[in-house]
Amino acid sequence: MSQNDIKIRKARRDDLPSILALVVELAVFEKEPNAVTASLEDYQEAWDSKLIDCIVAVEKSEDSEQVIGVALYYDTFSTWKGKMMYLEDFVVSQAHRSKGVGKLIYDELFREAERRKCILVKWQVLDWNEGAIRFYEREGATIEKEWWNVKRYL
């Protein structure tokens, strides 16, 4: 695989099964193999209502494209800063990691945030994911350690 075989583009609805499969792969990597309970129908509903959007990396062959990476995000609002984007999932398939695919997606994500006139992009990273932390710090991100995650299921 060379960089010339990789295309970065906005996702389409028909990419959603591949995107969901990458999210499941991410959950396995994050040691939560049974945590993904959202269905393809949930993804389709969120897509159709414009709740989520994605940038994908696809590996091109003569007659097909295979989704090999994704940044899934949505617009949100910071009462302190203004319009922002939340990066929910950022994953490159295991077979394509450490080949520059993540950097291509990451750079396009920030171009998209600028097009949307966002003031910042926020996301989470696990404290043990040293490779991701190094990548984010190398790319100029700030890792906040003083805020705790809070959630409540309904």
136 catalytic per annotation: yes
Rounded Cα distance between 133 and 28, Å, is: 18
Q: Which of 73, 74, 86, 136 is catalytic?
A: 136
Enzyme catalytic residues: 136
